[in-house]
Structure 1
Amino acid sequence: MPESVRQHYELYPYPDYPLFASVRRRDTYANNLDALCSLFNGELPLPGSRILIAGCGSFAPYPFALANPGVPITALDLSRKSLKRARLHCLLHGISGVDFVPGDLCDPALATGPYGFIDAYGVLHHLEEPQAGLRALAARLGEGGILRVMVYSHYARREEDSIRRALRLLKVRDPEQVRRMVRRSGQDSRLRAFFESSEEVGSRSGLADALLHPQVTSYRIDALLELIAGSGLTLLRFAHRGALPEPELEIARIRALETKQEAPGNFVLYLGRNCAGGCPEGDGVFRLNPCLAAAFSGWRPGTLHLPGRLGHKNAALDGAERRFLRRFRNPVPAADLSPTELARAGAYADRLFLMHSRA
């Protein structure tokens, strides 16, 4: 990893959420190891399974630990300043069980595997050699292990990349210099238009990450597929907004978008090492995702809103849906469900609200 990248995050730890910013456990449901292993392996994780957050930044260890109490978590990052802030955030929210490790994810001596789940969200595209980084992560993944990746899409990032290249040519290296340029720009300038439409540049670290980062690679779908093929891992599913559950269909959809120079946003996807696949429809048992236990512990008025994940945009859960999900606080055999209930439970399992496993 270039020294310039480490220095960038020492100057601008990202993200810069307030230290007292809190997360509700129910909103972390898609980070739960039990739910992910049930979805992609049809089994609960083996005892002793661990999580690695590669390039954890200043915040991710907190919601991952909240989603997985008692699960050992390694938080690896190049920036000691980011790790310090991430550790403090966990401390302030009573979170323990996270091992904070400074260093380069390409160093095989650090954060040695195997891990049941690895998260590399917004990391590979900042490496000098993304292929080497992905292989290094794949080497740490155990049998049945799952790796989540987010990388920039070329067509979603065109404006940021264009502005970033221009700022580099102008030798602009400080967020305040950029803001001064915006203030002096005309009402119809591309720079001003970008600032008015982007939420990320509202903070100093967000602006630096979007426009001043020294190492960025953006991907078209076929280049992304080449990256995956070189890792030895299997593409399990895309998870960006609107993604189709079948990878082949989503690849075709993205290719069609790219012919129009469009994108579904940045690419989010899950890769796996010899994952067994989901539990067959009529077999096994259904359980409520443990992150949602408190939300379904008793009667509550009104509707419940949960953030969309795995491509889904979740509708609010009304009283009838909440009563149905409440039944799964204890394991319910698939054989005990009617065909209609089984289909309904399967749809909730696909959203990770329920976990469907063989035992």
Structure 2
Amino acid sequence: MPDAVRRHYELYPYPSYPLFASVRRADTYANNLDALWSLFNGELPPADLARILIAGCGTFAPYPFAVANPKARITALDLSETSLRRARLHCLVHGVTGVDFVAGDLLDPALVTGPYGFIDAYGVLHHLAEPEAGLRALAARLGEGGIMRVMVYSRYTRREEDAIRRALTLLKVREPEAVRRMVARSAQGSRLREFFESSGEVASRAGLADALLHPQVKSYRIGEFIELVAASGLTPLRFAHRGALPEPEREVERIRGMEKEKESPGNFVLYLGRSPKGPCPDAEAVFRLNPCLLPALSPWRITPVDIPGRLGNENGPLNGAERRFLRRFRHPVQAAELSPLDLKRAGSYADRLFLLRCRELSV
């Protein structure tokens, strides 16, 4: 099946963002390794773990990760040479360097070797013939205290898409153009037409192919996903899909309740860790601004910073008072220097990755 998946992405490299599509560094703040490590370990990553692996990187992810982590060593791994060429070109167009592009199967232990401080497997495991083997292979590359982000399709978010894909497979429909012709002939109000009218994924040729013509797809109920995670030996740290509760156990129970009504909060996004040390208590912490936000909070910048939702939060534009507060942390601030109210506020921003919260902070 890896060959079938490889051929699919050679034909339909995904996602199909324009080469000039750009991100501001402020928008990449949740990809910053120092911020993630401090959230789950209460300290900065050691120098030998300032390494990031993007497994199944596709055509775009290396660019925002490199923007967020200009000093980290980044490896972008993908089955598809076409996807890697596009990803490399996107980085070159935006003047981004420091990424190693590697073609091959993540199951090959000799292809890229750890340890890594952060591994991203966003939208990858559900395209493997053996997702458990894939997750274990990635976990083996994770260093002590290391963090992994995984995203898999949830059954009740993808059930209409899954049904259409199965039907297209039975009908031996293999090209996006053939699907579009079917949609054009379908009746108003039909399931196929309604799906196309409501789904943003199918707007592009590559998006349509990824959603409906992929040769290897699995979607998960929450129980199945937790079983997959348990087999990896890693610790669930925090769900990060929209509206997620911060405690993994509570979020699992919330999703179980939703699934009884055949609903889901979206695709499942979860951070995992290898022997995490846990966050630093607010009262013992040193706080500093997430480095990705430094340019955005410069005193001369007056355009509001629109920071998209991360870690399950809905983050609106920062107002003037928020910006002034965060600006105080451009240099390290000890907890003892903050009032009880400001300390609580700083802890809240650290939970959202706007601030780094560490036992010690020398950067």
What CA distance in whole angstroms lies between the structure 2 residues aligned with 1:18 and 1:180? Answer: 25
Deviates more, 1:236-245 or 1:315-324: 315-324
1:107 paired to 2:137: no
Q: CA deviation at 1:299?
A: 4.4
What CA distance in whole angstroms lies between the structure 1 residues aligned with 2:331 and 2:324? Answer: 13
Q: CA deviation at 1:302?
A: 6.0
> Number of matched residues?
359
Q: How does 1:43-192 map to 2 (within 5 A)?
A: 43-48=43-48, 49-192=50-193
TM-score (norm 1): 0.99
Query: Superposition RMSD on alpha carbons, in Å?
Result: 0.8
**Counterpart secondary structure, 2:143:** strand
What CA distance in whole angstroms lies between the structure 2 residues aligned with 1:94 and 1:29? Answer: 19
Q: CA deviation at 1:303?
A: 3.7
**Counterpart secondary structure, 1:84:** helix
State the match for 2:294 in structure 1.
293
What CA distance in whole angstroms lies between the structure 1 residues aligned with 2:290 and 2:255? Answer: 31
Relative to structure 1, the CA distance from residue 299 to residue 321 in structure 2 (aligned partners, 3 Å threshold; closer, same or farther) is: farther
Q: Which amino acid aligns with 1:22?
A: S
Q: How does 1:183-222 map to 2 (within 5 A)?
A: 183-222=184-223
Q: Which amino acid aligns with 1:46?
A: P
**Counterpart secondary structure, 2:76:** strand
Q: CA deviation at 1:15?
A: 0.3
What CA distance in whole angstroms lies between the structure 2 residues aligned with 1:189 and 1:114? Answer: 50
State the match for 1:343 in structure 2.
344
Q: CA deviation at 1:119?
A: 0.1
What CA distance in whole angstroms lies between the structure 1 residues aligned with 2:301 and 2:24? Answer: 16
State the match for 1:18 in structure 2.
18
Contact 2:157 2:266 in 1 (8 A): yes
1:30 paired to 2:30: yes
State the match for 2:2 in structure 1.
2
Q: CA deviation at 1:297?
A: 1.4
What CA distance in whole angstroms lies between the structure 2 residues aligned with 1:17 and 1:117? Answer: 24
What CA distance in whole angstroms lies between the structure 1 residues aligned with 2:227 and 2:109? Answer: 23
Aligned sequence identity (%)? 75
Contact 1:155 1:258 in 2 (8 A): yes
Deviates more, 1:206-215 or 1:300-309: 300-309
Contact 1:43 1:357 in 2 (8 A): yes
Q: CA deviation at 1:301?
A: 3.7
Q: Which amino acid aligns with 1:78?
A: L
Contact 2:121 2:149 in 1 (8 A): yes
| 5+ residue gaps, structure 1 | none
Q: Render the CA deviation track for 1:317-346: whole Å, top value 9, x for unaligned.
A: 111111000000000001111110011001
Q: Structure 1 residue runs of 4+, over 2 Å off?
A: 299-304
What CA distance in whole angstroms lies between the structure 1 residues aligned with 2:337 and 2:309? Answer: 28
Q: CA deviation at 1:70?
A: 1.5
What CA distance in whole angstroms lies between the structure 1 residues aligned with 2:173 and 2:276? Answer: 46
Deviates more, 1:312-321 or 1:106-115: 312-321
| 5+ residue gaps, structure 2 | none
What CA distance in whole angstroms lies between the structure 2 residues aligned with 1:248 and 1:132? Answer: 24
